[in-house]
């Protein structure tokens, strides 16, 4: 996006008064979206955002500036501002010559920008029609299509010089059913790092029917029980539990701040021997996939916990430099206006060997959670509360009645210890956006069927 000669000149200006390190991050993002609500197209939008962020390190001081002016003068002004913010006052440092990286952006078969708006509108309309035709109980439907193409360039005074081209396409549908139990909602979403070929893999009418089925099923659901009991978490969307309750605690910045329950435990047993947790930014097509992170480092597949033993944390460049080690490729930022920090990519609990039916059969009375919703987590302690958006009672080793939405309450590190069964049916869950310190980035997570011997259910049943 920016010629190497201008990049080198800008980095030299950033260090002309001294400093340890300078970095240029350029970004060009194109977005389009269609929102439908209650049968009407509420929003049909497209946008483009371009700019550069410049970072200068001077000891423990960090200077940062960003600009949408990509001219030579605009970049020079931002470089000087970042240098001044880092309180640099010394002799000039010569940057290393820019290198090159052999990376492979995710392939895109059908670029979303080549698809007309009418075709995108027809997707949300088809979902609306499908959900409403499923049952007369469906009173409201909303649907959303969105695509993003994000091109980045990262260069720094250590010689890093990399580019990536990231395309993501998403579809989501929500259906509301009305009945004697009031209003109940069902939701379904898909999103992958690919283009419009997403809709060769998924039928929006089927997605909408699934959402409608969930909503209608909840109309006859029982109140969720209350108390401590065995919980079986189904494949796919249960991964958000490990992302939030355990994953954040394995990010090096939170570890260094003492805000992690896993601080100082590398090499120790922190989970059941059935537990292996991986963060993998290289997973083909997945929502959190990229070729290089937002500091120019290649994405990695990082084993965090193996057979219950804590192996390592996730690292960005700043924390890795301080420790004299390599980054794990987890330096991410929301946009060129933000500083990078340690973030997850696609985080998952590895597949086991047990038959999911046998895992359920081993529970006399408990709860089966098919889908988890949002929640709250204290990363320092690992305590969490998650909403159960689709759950069922387990009685006599069989899934029986659907349950109304309740809460799943527990402690992340303790849950890792209490997993006593892991299935052979691994799935990645729906696309997610992870929020941290005011920044949101796309992430994925997944799990096979698993059983926790004891979790607290916050329901309303007497």
In a domain, 237, yes or no: yes
Q: Which of 157, 185, 218 is the last residue of a domain?
A: 218
In a domain, residue 283? The reply is yes
Residue 189: the pLDDT is 97
What percentage of the chain reaches a pLDDT higher than 90? 87
Residues 295 and 427 in one domain: yes
Q: Are residues 213 and 238 in the same domain?
A: no
Are residues 174 and 234 part of one domain? no
Quote the number of domains for the chain: 2
Q: How far apart are the first and last CA of the chain?
A: 62
Task: Examine residue 34 and state whether it is found in any structural domain, yes or no.
Answer: no
The structure tokens listed for 6 are 């201008």
Residue 321 maps to a domain? yes
- Taking only the tens place, the pLDDT of each residue in 11-53 is 999 999 889 999 999 999 999 999 999 999 999 999 999 999 9
CA–CA distance, 411 with 271 (Å, rounded to integer): 12
Residue 91 lies in a domain: no
Q: What is the CATH number of the domain that holds 185?
A: 3.30.2290.10
Does 437 map to a domain? yes
Residue 326 shares a structural domain with residue 353: yes
pLDDT in tens, 104-122: 788 999 999 999 999 999 9
Pick 286 or 87 by higher pLDDT.
Answer: 286
Which residues fall within 8 angstroms of residue 168, CB to CB, at 6 or more apart? Answer: 147, 148, 150, 191, 192, 193, 194, 287, 431, 442
The pLDDT assigned to 382 comes to 87
The answer to whether 372 touches 232, Cβ cutoff 8 Å, is no
Is 55 inside a domain boundary?
Answer: no
CA pair distance 340, 328, nearest whole angstrom: 13
Q: What is the DSSP string of 99-164?
A: ------PPP-SS-GGGS-HHHHHHHHHHHHHHHHHH-TTEEEEEEEEEEEEEEEEEEETTS-EEEE
234: which 2 tokens?
């189904």
183 lies in the same domain as 279? no
Q: Does the pLDDT value for residue 237 go beyond 90?
A: no
pLDDT attached to residue 209: 97
Predicted local confidence at residue 106, as pLDDT: 85
Same domain, 269 and 347: yes
Angle at 316 between CA 313 and CA 319, to 5 degrees: 80
Residue ending a domain, among 200, 218, 236, is 218
Mean pLDDT across the chain: 94
- Tokens encoding 48: 């483009």
Residues 359 and 238 in one domain: yes
335: containing domain: 227-458
pTM: 0.95
- Whether 138 shows a pLDDT value over 90: the answer reads yes
Note whether residue 40 is domain-resident. no
| Same domain (yes/no): 289, 236 | yes
Q: Are residues 289 and 410 in the same domain?
A: yes
pLDDT on residue 102: 66
Q: Indicate if 190 and 282 belong to the same structural domain.
A: no
Same domain for 169 and 249? no
pLDDT at position 94 = 77
Q: Which of 242, 326, 235 is nearest to 276 (CA)?
A: 242
Is the pLDDT score of 218 beyond 80? yes
| pLDDT surpassing 80 at residue 93 | no
pLDDT per residue as tens digits for the range 314-368: 999 999 998 999 999 999 999 999 999 999 999 999 999 999 999 999 999 999 9
pLDDT 10s digits, 239-289 = 998 898 889 999 999 999 999 999 999 999 999 999 999 999 999 999 999
Q: What is the pLDDT of residues 378-400, one digit of tens each?
A: 888 889 999 999 999 999 999 99
Whether 209 and 239 map to the same domain: the answer is no
- The yes-or-no verdict on residue 101 having pLDDT over 90 is no
Q: Which residues have CB under 8 Å from 302's CB, separation 6+?
A: 278, 279, 280, 312, 314, 328, 329, 330
């Amino acid at each position: 996006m920016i010629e190497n000669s201008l990049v080198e000149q800008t980095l030299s200006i950033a260090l002309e008064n001294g400093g340890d390190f300078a970095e240029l991050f350029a970004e060009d993002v194109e977005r389009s979206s269609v929102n439908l609500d209650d049968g009407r197209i509420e929003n049909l939008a497209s946008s483009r955002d371009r700019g550069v962020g410049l970072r200068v390190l001077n000891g423990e001081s960090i200077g940062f500036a960003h600009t949408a002016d990509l001219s030579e003068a605009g970049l020079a002004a931002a470089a000087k501002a970042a240098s001044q913010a880092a309180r640099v006052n010394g002799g000039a440092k010569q940057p290393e010559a820019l290198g090159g990286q052999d990376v492979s952006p995710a392939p895109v078969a059908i670029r979303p920008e080549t698809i007309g708006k009418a075709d995108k509108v027809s997707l949300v309309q088809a979902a609306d029609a499908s959900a409403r035709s499923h049952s007369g109980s469906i009173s409201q439907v909303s649907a959303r299509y969105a695509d993003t193409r994000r091109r980045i360039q990262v260069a720094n005074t250590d010689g890093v010089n990399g580019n990536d081209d990231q395309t993501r396409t998403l579809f989501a549908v929500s259906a509301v059913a009305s009945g004697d139990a009031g209003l109940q909602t069902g939701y379904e979403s898909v999103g992958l790092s690919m283009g419009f070929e997403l809709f060769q893999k998924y039928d929006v009418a089927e997605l909408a029917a699934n959402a409608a089925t969930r909503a209608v099923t909840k109309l006859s659901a029982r109140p969720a029980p209350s108390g401590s009991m065995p919980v079986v978490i189904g494949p796919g969307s249960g991964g958000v539990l490990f992302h939030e309750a355990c994953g954040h605690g394995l990010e090096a910045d939170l570890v260094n701040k003492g805000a992690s329950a896993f601080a100082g435990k590398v090499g120790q047993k922190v989970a059941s021997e059935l537990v292996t947790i991986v963060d993998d930014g290289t997973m083909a097509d997945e929502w959190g996939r990229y070729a290089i992170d937002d500091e120019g480092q290649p994405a990695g597949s990082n084993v965090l916990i193996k057979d219950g033993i804590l192996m390592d944390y996730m690292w960005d460049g700043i924390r890795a430099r301080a420790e004299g080690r390599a980054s794990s490729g987890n330096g991410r930022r929301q946009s060129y206006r933000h500083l990078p920090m340690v973030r997850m990519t696609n985080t998952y609990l590895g597949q086991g060997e047990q038959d999911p039916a046998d895992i359920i059969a081993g529970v006399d009375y408990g709860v089966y959670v098919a889908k988890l919703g949002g929640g709250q987590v204290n990363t320092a302690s690992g305590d969490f509360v998650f909403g159960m958006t689709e759950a069922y009672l387990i009685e006599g080793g069989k899934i029986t009645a659907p349950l109304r939405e309740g809460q799943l309450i527990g402690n992340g590190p303790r849950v890792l210890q209490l997993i006593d069964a892991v299935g052979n049916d691994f799935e990645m869950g729906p696309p997610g956006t992870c929020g941290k310190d005011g920044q949101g980035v796309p992430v994925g997570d997944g799990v096979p069927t698993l059983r926790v011997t004891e979790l607290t259910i916050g329901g309303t049943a007497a």
